[in-house]
């Protein structure tokens, strides 16, 4: 039993004592006809369970919590007092078995989270002075070159320092296939090396890396308590009063205390206190499996109740990184040749547009030589030599000035687009139109959220209104709020609360205040800022906004299952209590019926572990016409 906690060992021991007392008494009473000894054995089996229950009740009362454990104590005590020792023994088995089953169910529901925690690496292998050394994880600093062997868990966030790496991110994102990451690409801590060994250049210390943040969030989630659970506690008090009222009424009307005992037994324990935590924790586990880290049962329930969605634009609805959307070449130049020379020169700067051009060239498999004689004019462009050719890359006016001539007209630009000109050997060679395009999964995500019950969807952005309108054209949004400061985003969130619970999605530092102000804040955690992830209630571990739809579907499903379990369980318990009060159920029969109810309720709550979000449906009829009108930005 070394794998069990002290609390779990106590639950197992109490269940063993209760089972021993029950079956030992049955053997004495019906096997060797010694009913007087059977009564004693049944009572001895009940004693430890009742004492442990009373201790738990005292601890709960000290915390100001009143629950249905009191009904269990009353039923066992009343059964012993009035000589119904067999019924008391059945209740003891039922109660100890129920608490153990609840613990087992929650343990199964937390399995994905425990697996996540168990994967935390303790050391890293670092290159130093031409040799390798194993160092504690805390000793890794940004800039260190680490060796990631096949099968190793990536210990810190970094970039791939070898030509290619194959990463298994299934434990974090639910993606079953390994991801190919080229040199310079981001590698998220917590992923597993599924290919040959590669070098990793650390960009963050372990404490600030993605995986460490995930572990902290999981630990917070495990310790949380949902509003529904607190509401269940209040329902428990009302149910306790109803139970006691029915029991004493049956005793007072009939003069038979055994009917009161039977009523108490049927009500013990109530599925209300079992179903809610099991279903919600199962929902947390299921969401984590799909790359949606919900920080606790409370945020999960808030996510399920959200009615208004406010979306940031950059990095949320859009990819957040500029891409080439069109290209023009002149003088007989081939597009790939122009791109290769431009990207080779752009390697010398960290400007986002330059990095986008470099990334596009690498994705096309173009070999990029090292540039020489590079001169950068910040915010304007670069001049240098590539393969002994003079190359100029930058804005149209900058390239015109560098070439010493007025250039021909350039391609028309849509709102939010950027033009990059390329000059080679003193002549204009081409133009690239750059834009931050809409994510491919945005339309399917919005369609799915509408079907999940989200009634209002708004865009909140600090960008210009014309850019926001052009990029989101045809998405069917209920409103666009542009040119917003971080404080104005907070004000929008507070204003929209009049329509119901508000969910806000963002990825940048400027979104953190609005995420904290919303009923449920969602951060794009794969590439988003650490500040937004800390302020948010939900973190999307995959760089895919469609995971939001999956998270909402899982949250709503888990909450629905919890409510179903509660309503059905309480309904059956009330019917059983009325039958016991009318004399149709003996205490023993009532105990057996209630045990069946509890097992059914817990098994039903575990259905939340099998919630499988529906696949995205970008061709949903309500938005199909929108998709057709999105143009090149879709």
Q: How far apart are CA 133 and CA 287, in angstroms?
A: 38
Per-residue H/E/C for 150-172: CCCECCCCEEECCCEEEEECHHH
Cα(214)–Cα(227) distance, rounded to whole angstroms? 23
C-beta separation of 224 from 204 below 8 A? no
CA-closest candidate to residue 186, choices 222, 160, 155: 160
Tokens of 60: 């709960």
- Cβ atoms of 261 and 588 closer than 8 Å: no
- How would DSSP label each residue in 575-620? HHHHHHHTTSS-HHHHHHHHHHHHHHHHHHHGGGGG--PPPP-TT-
Active-site residue, selected from the candidate residues 69, 144, 312, 463 = 312
How many C-beta atoms lie closer than 10 Å to residue 36's C-beta? 8
Strands 192-193 and 164-168: antiparallel
**Selection from 444, 442, 420 nearest residue 430 by Cα:** 420
Q: Any catalytic annotation for residue 312?
A: yes
The CA distance from 412 to 629, in Å, is 19
- What are the Cα distances from residue 348, in Å, to 181, 223, 433? 21, 48, 20
Going by the DSSP 8-state scheme, the letter that residue 395 receives in this structure is: -
Q: Which run of H or of E encompasses 193? A: strand 192-193
Instruction: Note whether 261 and 594 are within 8 A (CB).
Output: no
DSSP 515-535: HHHSSEEEEETTTS-HHHHHH
CA 595 to CA 267: how far, in whole Å? 10
> What are the C-alpha distances in Å from 343 to residues 240, 326, 481, 615?
72, 16, 36, 37
Task: Report the C-alpha gap between 410 and 524 in whole angstroms.
Answer: 36
Query: How deeply is 244 buried, as exposed, middle or buried, from its count of CB atoms within 10 A (0-12, 13-18, 19+)?
Result: middle
Beta bridge partners of 616: none
Distance, CA of 315 to CA of 412 (rounded, Å): 25
Nearest alpha-carbon partner for 516 in 499, 501, 491, 537: 537
Burial of 412 (C-beta count, 10 Å sphere; 0-12/13-18/19+)? exposed
How do beta strands 308-311 and 456-460 pair?
Answer: parallel
Write out the catalytic residue numbers. Answer: 312
């Amino acid at each position: 039993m070394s794998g069990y906690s002290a609390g779990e060992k106590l639950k197992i021991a109490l269940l063993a004592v209760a089972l021993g007392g029950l079956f030992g008494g049955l053997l004495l009473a019906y096997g060797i006809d010694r009913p007087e000894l059977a009564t004693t054995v049944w009572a001895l089996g009940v004693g430890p369970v009742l004492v442990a229950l009373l201790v738990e009740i005292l601890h709960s009362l000290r915390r100001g919590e009143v629950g249905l454990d009191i009904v269990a104590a009353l039923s066992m005590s009343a059964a012993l007092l009035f000589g119904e020792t067999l019924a008391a023994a059945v209740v003891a088995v039922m109660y100890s078995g129920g608490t153990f089953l609840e613990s087992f169910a929650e343990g199964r529901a937390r399995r994905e989270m425990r697996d996540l925690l168990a994967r935390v690496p303790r050391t890293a292998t670092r290159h130093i002075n031409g040799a390798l050394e194993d160092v504690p994880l805390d000793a890794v600093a940004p800039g260190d070159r680490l060796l990631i062997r096949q099968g190793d868990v990536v210990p810190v966030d970094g970039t791939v320092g070898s030509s290619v790496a194959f990463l298994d991110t299934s434990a974090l994102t639910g993606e079953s296939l390994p991801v190919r990451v080229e040199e310079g690409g981001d590698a998220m801590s917590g992923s597993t090396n599924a290919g040959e060994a590669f070098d990793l250049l650390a960009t963050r210390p372990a404490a600030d890396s993605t995986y460490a943040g995930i572990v902290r969030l999981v630990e917070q989630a495990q310790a949380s308590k949902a509003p529904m659970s607190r509401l269940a506690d209040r329902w428990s008090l009302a149910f306790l009063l109803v139970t006691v009222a029915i029991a004493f009424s049956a005793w007072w009307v009939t003069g038979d205390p055994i009917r009161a005992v039977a009523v108490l037994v049927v009500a013990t324990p109530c599925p209300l206190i079992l179903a809610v935590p099991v279903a919600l924790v199962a929902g947390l586990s299921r969401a984590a499996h799909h790359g949606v880290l919900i920080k606790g049962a409370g945020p999960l329930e808030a996510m399920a109740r959200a009615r208004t969605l406010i979306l940031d634009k950059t990095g949320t609805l859009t990819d957040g990184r500029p891409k080439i959307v069109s290209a023009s070449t002149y003088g007989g130049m081939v597009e790939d040749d122009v791109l290769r020379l431009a990207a080779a020169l752009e390697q010398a700067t960290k400007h986002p547009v330059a990095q986008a051009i470099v990334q596009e060239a690498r994705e096309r498999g173009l070999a990029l030589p090292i540039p020489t004689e590079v001169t950068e004019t910040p915010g304007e462009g670069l001049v240098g030599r590539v393969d002994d050719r003079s190359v100029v890359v930058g804005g149209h006016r900058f390239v015109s000035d560098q070439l010493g001539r007025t250039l021909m007209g350039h391609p028309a630009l849509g709102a939010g687009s950027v033009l990059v000109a390329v000059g080679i050997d003193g002549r204009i060679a081409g133009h690239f139109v750059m834009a931050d395009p809409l994510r491919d999964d945005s339309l399917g995500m919005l369609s799915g959220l509408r079907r999940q019950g989200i009634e209002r969807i708004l865009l909140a952005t600090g960008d210009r209104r014309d850019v926001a309108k052009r990029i989101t054209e045809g998405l069917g949004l209920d409103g666009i709020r542009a040119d917003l400061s971080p404080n104005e985003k907070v004000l929008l969130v507070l204003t929209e609360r009049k329509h119901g619970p508000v969910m806000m999605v963002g990825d940048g530092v400027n979104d953190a205040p609005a995420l904290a102000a919303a009923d449920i804040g969602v951060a794009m955690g794969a590439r988003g800022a650490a500040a937004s992830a800390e302020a948010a209630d939900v973190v999307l571990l995959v760089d895919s906004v469609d995971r939001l739809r999956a998270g909402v579907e899982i949250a709503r499903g888990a909450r629905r299952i919890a409510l179903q379990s509660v309503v059905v369980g309480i309904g059956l318990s009330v019917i059983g209590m009325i039958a016991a009060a009318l004399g149709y159920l003996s205490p023993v029969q009532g105990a057996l019926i209630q045990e069946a109810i509890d097992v059914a309720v817990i098994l039903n709550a575990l259905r939340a572990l099998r919630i499988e979000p529906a696949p995205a449906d970008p061709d949903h009829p309500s938005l199909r016409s929108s998709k057709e009108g999105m143009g090149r930005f879709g």
